[in-house]
Amino acid sequence: MSVDGVFGSITESAIRDLQKRYKVPVTGEVNPRTWEVLDMHENPYRSPLPWKL
């Protein structure tokens, strides 16, 4: 699979799965709560989130 820059059905499904895994509201959208989960659990570099700079 290659990166195409499109937020399509595969990406939405992956976001929903991540939201279910970490027990956050399942919206399929990368909202601030989902970003926090991604940063806390899936970001190996732990850089600050843009709205927390």
pLDDT tens by residue, 3-34: 677 788 888 999 999 999 999 999 999 899 99
Contact criterion met (CB below 8 Å) for 37 and 25? no
Mean pLDDT in residue range 29-40: 88
pTM of the model: 0.68
Using CB atoms within 10 A of its CB, is residue 5 exposed (0-12), middle (13-18) or buried (19+)?
A: exposed
Q: What pLDDT is recorded for position 53? A: 57
The answer to whether the CB of 23 falls within 8 A of the CB of 40 is: no
Higher pLDDT, 38 or 53: 38
Find tokens 């989130």 and name the residue. 49
- Please tell me the predicted confidence (pLDDT) of residue 16: 95
Indicate the average pLDDT of the chain.
82
